[in-house]
């Protein structure tokens, strides 16, 4: 690849295998492989790593010719497994051995969708949280009972081991990695080019076989949801929201959950958490009481409560981990 040695940024290696999942691979390349001169000289380097010999076919009738073999993993800072051809099927030992060695010397390992079965086969996920597409959750539990499967999240972050749920959740995880490495402004810039939200909170349960709302009510709620996002710091009661939607409270609650997959109160908490997280990631270092006010929690105590109960951390610990770092420092990490 042209950017393989052109800068000192972190080296990202995408694992290519026979039966490669095209969408997940495309997500990986789109985030980490596209040239981004606007990001400066410390952006990621990207290369594709051949995991197997012989012709490598990809979904959609494509063939893949990787740049390198598994020896590339000896240098990679981040290794991504973009899906796996047979969830629950065997993973060649030479692949799992190479991943364990890379992780042992400090490389981060990430999986998208069914790629978690490759990471689980290494044993590195034993006793840790991991996720996958909701269709594969039961199979992951059955095949790897030592893994703490999180069925309702879009991605998990265990520091050097990261997993994403369904295919599109791979975008969420990749942006999360960019955010941790380069800060929220850079992640937001990448998200804008992808035309996706920089944060997508909630869980994959909201995408499982839910009824489609009536078109005119869905349109009304879409306008209301945009308004709610702009007024998070106000008191958003069900009665006020139902009145703005022109519905009874009972109808509003039912239609809102059909549209978003979440009760209105839970959706508001998730959006406020998303707002608070973005404010904590910014370099300005806003005081916690100001963040609590802007995000709609009202008090530092409420802010801390929701961080502990939903994210299993504190606002200060979250800022310490995900607050903005200079790109050069991220590249050296």
DSSP letter (8 states) at residue 71? G
What number is the average pLDDT over the span 208-237? Answer: 72
**62-103: pLDDT as tens digits:** 989 898 999 999 999 999 999 999 888 889 999 999 999 999
pLDDT, position 204: 53
| Residue 52 near residue 17, CB atoms below 8 Å | yes
Task: Look at residue 333 and tell me whether its pLDDT is greater than 50.
Answer: no
DSSP letter (8 states) at residue 41? T
Please choose, from the candidates 311, 200, 316, the residue with its C-alpha nearest in 3D space to the C-alpha of residue 260: 200
**110-128: pLDDT as tens digits:** 999 999 999 999 999 999 9
Please choose, from the candidates 49, 94, 53, the residue with its C-alpha nearest in 3D space to the C-alpha of residue 68: 49
CB atoms within 10 A of CB 228: 20
Task: Look at residue 48 and tell me whether its pLDDT is greater than 80.
Answer: yes
Contacts of 253-257 spanning 24+ positions with Cβ under 8 A: 255/213, 255/214, 255/217, 255/221, 256/221
> What residues are paired with 202 via a beta bridge?
none
> What residues are paired with 12 via a beta bridge?
46, 78
* Strands lying side by side in the sheet with 108-112: 45-50, 11-16, 78-82, 108-112, 161-164, 155-157
CATH code, 11-194: 3.40.50.880
Burial (CB < 10 A; 0-12, 13-18, 19+), residue 233, is middle
Please choose, from the candidates 296, 305, 303, 302, the residue with its C-alpha nearest in 3D space to the C-alpha of residue 235: 296
Find the angle CA(278)-CA(281)-CA(12) to the nearest 5 degrees.
105
Predicted structure pTM score:
0.66
> What residues are paired with 16 via a beta bridge?
50
> What residues are paired with 63 via a beta bridge?
57
> What residues are paired with 108 via a beta bridge?
78
| CA distances, 178 to each of 18, 160, 182, 223 (Å) | 28, 14, 6, 30
- Name the token pair of 266: 């839970």
**255-276: pLDDT as tens digits:** 898 888 789 999 999 899 989 9
CATH code, 267-332: 1.10.10.60
Task: Look at residue 145 and tell me whether its pLDDT is greater than 50.
Answer: yes
**1-17: pLDDT as tens digits:** 444 445 678 999 999 99
Q: Which residues does 192 contact at the CB level (< 8 Å), separation at least 6?
A: none
CA distance 62 to 43: 28
| Residue 323 near residue 280, CB atoms below 8 Å | yes
pLDDT band at 202 (very low <50, low <70, confident <90, very high): low
């Amino acid at each position: 690849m042209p950017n393989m040695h052109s800068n000192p940024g972190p080296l990202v290696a995408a694992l290519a295998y026979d039966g490669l999942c095209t969408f997940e691979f495309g997500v990986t390349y789109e985030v980490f492989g596209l040239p981004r001169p606007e990001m400066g000289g410390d952006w990621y380097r990207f290369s594709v790593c051949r995991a197997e010999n012989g012709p490598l076919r990809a979904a959609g009738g494509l063939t893949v010719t990787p740049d390198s073999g598994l020896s590339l993993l000896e240098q990679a800072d981040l290794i991504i497994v973009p899906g796996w051809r047979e969830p629950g099927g065997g993973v060649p030992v030479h692949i799992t051995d190479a991943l364990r060695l890379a992780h042992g010397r400090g490389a981060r390992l990430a999986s998208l969708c069914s790629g978690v079965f490759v990471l689980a086969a290494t044993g590195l996920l034993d006793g840790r949280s991991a996720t996958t597409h909701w269709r594969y959750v039961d199979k992951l539990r059955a095949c790897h009972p030592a893994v703490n499967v999180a069925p309702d999240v879009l991605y998990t972050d265990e520091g050097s081991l990261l997993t994403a749920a369904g295919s599109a959740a791979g975008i969420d995880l990749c942006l999360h990695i960019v955010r941790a490495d380069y800060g929220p402004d850079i992640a937001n810039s990448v998200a804008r080019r992808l035309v996706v939200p920089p944060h997508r909170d909630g869980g994959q349960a909201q995408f499982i076989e839910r009824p489609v709302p009536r078109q005119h009510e869905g349109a009304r709620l879409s306008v209301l949801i945009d308004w709610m996002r702009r007024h998070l710091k106000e008191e958003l009661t069900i009665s006020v929201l139902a009145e703005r939607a022109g519905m009874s409270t009972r109808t509003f609650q039912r239609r809102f959950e059909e549209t978003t997959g979440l009760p209105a109160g839970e959706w508001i908490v998730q959006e406020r958490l998303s707002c608070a997280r973005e404010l904590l990631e910014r370099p300005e270092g806003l005081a916690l009481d100001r963040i609590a006010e802007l995000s709609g929690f009202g008090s530092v105590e409420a802010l801390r409560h929701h961080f502990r109960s939903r994210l299993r951390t504190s606002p200060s610990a979250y800022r310490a981990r995900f607050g903005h770092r200079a790109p050069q420092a991220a590249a050296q990490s």
